[in-house]
Structures are given as C-alpha cells and as structure tokens.
Amino acid sequence: MPLTPEVQNTINTWLTPDYDADTQAAIRQMQADGQDDQLTDAFYRTLEFGTGGLRGIMGPGSNRMNRYTLGMATQGLCNYLLQSFPGQQIKVAIAHDSRNNSRAFAEIAAGIFSANGIVAYLFEALRPTPELSFAIRELQCQSGCVITASHNPKEYNGYKVYWNDGSQVVAPHDQNIIAEVNKITSPSEVKFQADPSKIVSIGADIDARYFAAASKLSIDPAAIQRQHDLNIVYTPIHGSGITLVPGLLREFGFTNVNVVQAQATPDGNFPTVQSPNPEEKSAMQLALDQAKATNADIVLATDPDADRVGVGVKNDQGEWVLLNGNQTAAVLTNYLLSARHRAGQATPKDYIVYTIVTSEILGDIARSYNVHSYRTLTGFKYIAGLIREKEGREIYIGGGEESYGFLIGDFVRDKDAISACALVAEMAAVAKDQGRTLYQEMVHMYTQHGLYVEDLISLTKKGQRGAEEIQEMMASLRANPPATIAGMKVVEIRDYKTGRIHDLRTGLATDTGVESSNVLQFLTDDGSKISARPSGTEPKIKFYFSVKQPLKSAVDFDLAQRQAHEKIQAIIADMKLQ
C-alpha cells in the first residue's frame, strides 16, 4: 500500500536536523527496503498520550515509543507541573522495568525534568512500579513516572504518569496534562539538555523504607516463624520483581525461597516466554515445573513491572493449578479480614474495595465480617482515588481487581505484587500451620460464601463498522434488556453510563455511586452477574461473566465448578455471543 501524502510529510519532518542521525538512518533504511506498510504504521498518527500516559511499539516514528515521543510527553508534563505548583521546588521520582531501552528512556526523562528546574529522583537501576508509587509519597514528590509496558510483548514500552499521592493521574490532571502534551509539536520545544545537579540517584534507602512499611502488613508472624521453611518457588519472569520480592519474603521470615534461575535475570527480550504475563500458563510453566520437581508448597510470579501477581497451588490430587485474578483477590480478602479478626486488629472503620467487574464474593466476605465494601470502575486509579477520598475517616485494608492486581495497605497507591506475594506466602504458612493447603483454604472459603466462577469473552470489531456494531450492541441491551438469561431471572440492572441501578423486584432506582462509564450489568436471582464493557482504547467489547453455585461441602467442589462453567456456556449461548 503506497504512502499517503500525510504520512510522507510526517516522514519528511523526521528526516530534518531536529532528529538525530541514527533515527534518520533507520527511516532511510526502511524506505530503501520498501517497507511502506511499516512506515505507514510508524507515521500515520502521533502516539497518543492517554489518561495513563504512553504505550507503544519501540522504534522511529511519530506512532512509536522513542526518545522524541517520550521527550515531548515529558516536556508537556513539566509545563503542567510548573503551572500547577508555582514558586515551589518541584520534585519527581522515576523508575523503570527490565524492558529494552527502559533505562535509556528513564535517563532521558530525568534529563528533561532537570532541564526544566525540577528535581528528578532517579532509581539507580530497575525497580517495580509499586515502589515508584511508594517513593513519590515517601519523598514528597509532586509527580512521578515509570517506564514500563507492563505485561505487553517485548516490542512494547510505555510511560505511566503519577500524581503527588502516588496514584496514576486522574481528573482533572489527566486531561490537563494531555492538553499540555498536545501543545508540544516539535522536539525543538523539548529541553533535552540535562542539569546533573538536579538528578538524584536513589535505591537501597528507598528499598529499606519500603521493606519497613510492607513488613508491618504481616498479621500472623508466629505462624511464619513455625513454617519459615515453607517451600516457595518464585519467578520474576525476567522483570523487576527480582529486586524486591525475595528480599521482602526474607523480611517476613521465610527461609526457603527458590527463584526460577532461568527467569531470574532481568531481560527485555523475555527469552523463555512468548509473553511475560502471569495470567498465561505458558509464562508460569517453568515455575510450575520447578515446583513439581521440588514438591514446593506454593508458586509466586510477578510481571515485568511487578504490579500483577500470579499464584500456583496444589490441588487435592497433587496437581498444580493456577489461581485466576478473582480467586487470588478473594482468598487474600478472606485472609486479611479473618486474620485481623482473630488477631483483634479489626475496627468498625475497616473497608475493602473491588471493581465493578470483579467477583461479588469480595463483598460477601466483607459483609460476613461486618466490614464495609466499595465498588469502583475498572482500573486501579479508581481504587486509589477512593483511598484518597476516605483517608483519615476510614481504614483501607485491601482491594483488588480481576486482572491480577491487589493492594494491601495504603502506603502504595497502585496495585502491588510485592506485598501481595508476601501475604499470599503468609496465607500458605498459616494454612500449613493448621494442616491444610492454600487450595483447601480457597475451597473452604467457597463453602462458606458460595462458589463464584468467572469468565471473560472479548469480541473484536474492527474498522468504522465495527465501532458502530459495538455501539449498537450496547444500545440494544439498554433498549431491550433481557428479562431472563439462560433461564435465570434478571432482578437488577446497573447502568454505569446513566449512573442508575434499577431493582426490578421493588421498582426502586438508586445511584451507582461512581462516575459515568459505558458499562452495563445484569444481575440474576441466583447471584450471577453479566457485564458488558466496550474498550476505550481498542476495537473490542468485553463481556464478563460471574456465576454463583451453592457449595455445601468441599467434596462437591469439582462438580459445582463444572456446573458453574456449564452455566456460563449457557449464558454465552443464550446471549448469542459465539
């Protein structure tokens, strides 16, 4: 496909002296090789600075992650910070993961901040995203950023921006920063010349402070002391978790932590996996193999920036199984509340948080301990926003989402797989101390609250017609909501776009209590929940399914699980989603 005049004009701009010789040489090589499709993709638009920052494939081009797109984003952020905090010495913290170019990008960002008169606290080497959030609060910074593309494939990198409370930027700052970034149209407007006097290296001291704060999360250190040799297999999947997870497990008192050596070295090529994502079994396979070979008690994993946690446990047949994000969030919530109750630490001000598409068992668990629970929109910045809103009046215990994120305590304001690993290990130690496995603890939790099973379908609808189809699907569901789904009576409709919850049993309508979002949910009389949510960044619509089955005895667990999965398939068929 030949280049359009617009694409060619953008390429010509990138072949001017505003861009370095290596960048120009790479573009000319693509031209010489006739790579028109690749050139179009690299230059047909400007890589969008969204509400969370940048994320894209690395390489030359306006639609790529490189020193220029990063530089213009950082300059826009600097301009907004200088407007927002006039007359103050502004400080930012900067971290990066193990991805290719992450260190170089972090140093470029630090240089631009410093050139704008802003003190840049730059971690001396790779560090997890949650530690960046912690450092912003600990060093009383006005902002911060981390260079990461989370669990995306190796070709990607990104740039996440945080505000002074350690959470990802939210309204009105997100849109205001975007406006400032969009004003920067040329690298000539970026102050690339660093002021070394304003760049401060940080590392071990912040690590020690993080360990001190995280160690206070332990609820049953006596059980750990008795089970200190719990056999733990941990993999950082070539990412930044290696810098903190083994150390925090030692701080908690665990003495038998075995790192998967083939994945221990940080490496942006992620050579042992297709995708460095603990949600995928293939990424966890080496850890599971090691656990089986060494008769381990538990498997723990983190993604490249160590904000998502993966957990493997042995079932009653001795087979290793992976917990999904809902299961991990549920067992952690159940442990935190039950252990605090046993230890006499519970207070009437305690609360937990989960997102609107996360399993409702979290709310059931909270109610069983007379603990408040709150729901937020999808995304951890909303959980952080609720923590900020409740600060000083209520006590945040923990919160999670179905996509493998959990946060315990409020000294970090983003999902934190470091502390989650430590508390999952403590859970396993407490269970072993009582002669049970973590798998058995999970099954017991379900016998108390009912078995919840979740699934997700993501439908891709490409192009303009695809976007129209997605809108038509949502409009149809709103205009003609189902009275029954797979034989189950719909008793409640939650429309987060209008902000109203309609109870079809009473006819009453109440507010959702969260800001507007294009999400629609149907709740049935047996406790099932079906959610429809168009993606804001991709041509996709996601359907989340959560069904509830009664479970009176652990011996019925496998049967109840099969029945739950069959119920989900019946829902999918009834809604004609496949």
Q: Considering the entire predicted model, what is its pTM?
A: 0.95
Confidence bin at 538 (pLDDT 50/70/90): low
What is the SS3 assignment for 328? helix
Across the beta sheet with 298-302, the strand order is 257-259, 232-235, 298-302, 309-314, 320-323
**Triad 332, 286, 278: Cα angle to 5°:** 40
* Residues 37 and 73: beta-carbon distance below 8 Å: no
Cα 126 to Cα 97: distance, rounded to the nearest angstrom: 5
Token pair for residue 65?
């992650």
Provide the CATH topology of domain 451-574: TATA-Binding Protein (3.30.310)
- Chosen CATH of 210-217+226-449 out of 3.40.50.10140, 2.30.40.10, 3.40.120.10, 3.90.650.10: 3.40.120.10
How far is Cα 404 from Cα 454, in angstroms, rounded to an integer? Answer: 13
Average pLDDT over residues 45-59: 88
65 DSSP assignment: B
pLDDT band at 313 (very low <50, low <70, confident <90, very high): very high
Whether residue 464 is predicted with pLDDT greater than 80 in this model: the reply is no
pLDDT band for 467, please (50, 70, 90 cuts). confident
Q: Per-residue confidence at 461, pLDDT binned at 50, 70, 90?
A: confident
Per-residue pLDDT at 466 exceeds 90? no
Mode of pairing for the β-strands spanning 143-147 and 156-163: antiparallel
Q: Where are the alpha helices (DSSP H) in 380-487?
A: 380-390, 417-433, 438-449, 463-479
Closest CA to 10 of 29, 27, 35, 33: 27
| Contact by Cβ (8 Å): 530, 485 | yes
What CA–CA distance (Å, rounded) separates 122 from 202? Answer: 6
How confident is the model over 197-201, as a mean pLDDT?
Answer: 98
Say what percent of the chain tops pLDDT 70: 99
Contacts of 48 (CB under 8 A, 6+ apart): 54
Name the average pLDDT for the chain: 95
Cβ atoms 309, 302 nearer than 8 A: yes
- Helix 21-32 × helix 5-14 angle, to 10°: 140
**For residue 51, what pLDDT band results from cuts at 50, 70 and 90?**
confident
pLDDT at 536: 66
For 128, what's the count of Cα atoms within 13 Å in the CB-facing half-sphere? 30
Q: 433 pLDDT band (50/70/90 cuts)?
A: very high
As a whole number of angstroms, the distance between CA 510 and CA 500 comes to: 6
Q: Can you tell me the distance from the alpha carbon of 346 to that of 355, in angstroms, rounded to the nearest whole number?
A: 23
Question: Mind listing the pLDDT tens digit for each residue in 362-418?
Answer: 999 999 999 999 999 998 999 999 999 999 999 999 999 999 999 999 999 999 999
**What residue segments make up the domains of the chain, in order of their start?**
1-41, 45-202, 210-217+226-449, 451-574
Phi first, then psi: give them for residue 326, nearest 5 degrees.
Answer: -65, -40
Pairwise CA distance, residues 570 & 485, whole Å: 9
Q: Is 150 a catalytic residue?
A: yes
Which DSSP state fits 553? -
Active-site residue among 150, 218, 373, 403? 150
Of the pLDDT bands very low, low, confident and very high (cuts 50, 70, 90), residue 171 is confident
Q: Is the dihedral of CA 162, 202, 119, 96 positive or negative?
A: negative
Q: What are the φ/ψ torsions at residue 381 (nearest 5 degrees)?
A: -65, -25
Q: State the alpha helices, DSSP H only, in 452-554.
A: 463-479
- Reported confidence tier of residue 141, pLDDT bands at 50, 70, 90: very high
- Which phi and psi angles does 237 have, rounded to 5°? 50, 50
Angle separating helix axes 417-433 and 438-449, nearest 10 degrees: 90
For residue 487, is pLDDT > 80?
Answer: yes
Percent of the chain scored above 90 by pLDDT? 91
For residue 573, the surrounding DSSP H or E stretch is helix 557-574
Rounded to the nearest 10°, the torsion over CA 6, 10, 15, 19 is 180
pLDDT, residue 387, reads: 97
pLDDT at 174 over 70: yes
Tokens of 25: 């040489």
Class of domain 45-202: alpha beta
pLDDT score recorded for residue 537: 60
Q: What's the rounded Cα separation, in Å, for the pair 81 and 76?
A: 9
Q: What is the pLDDT of residues 325-353, one digit of tens each?
A: 999 999 999 999 999 999 999 999 999 99
Instruction: Give the C-alpha distances (Å, rounded to integers) separating 212 from 379, 416, 471.
Output: 27, 15, 49
For 542-563, the pLDDT digits (tens) are 999 999 999 999 999 999 999 9
Same fold: 210-217+226-449 with 451-574:
no
Tokens linked to 554: 């652990």
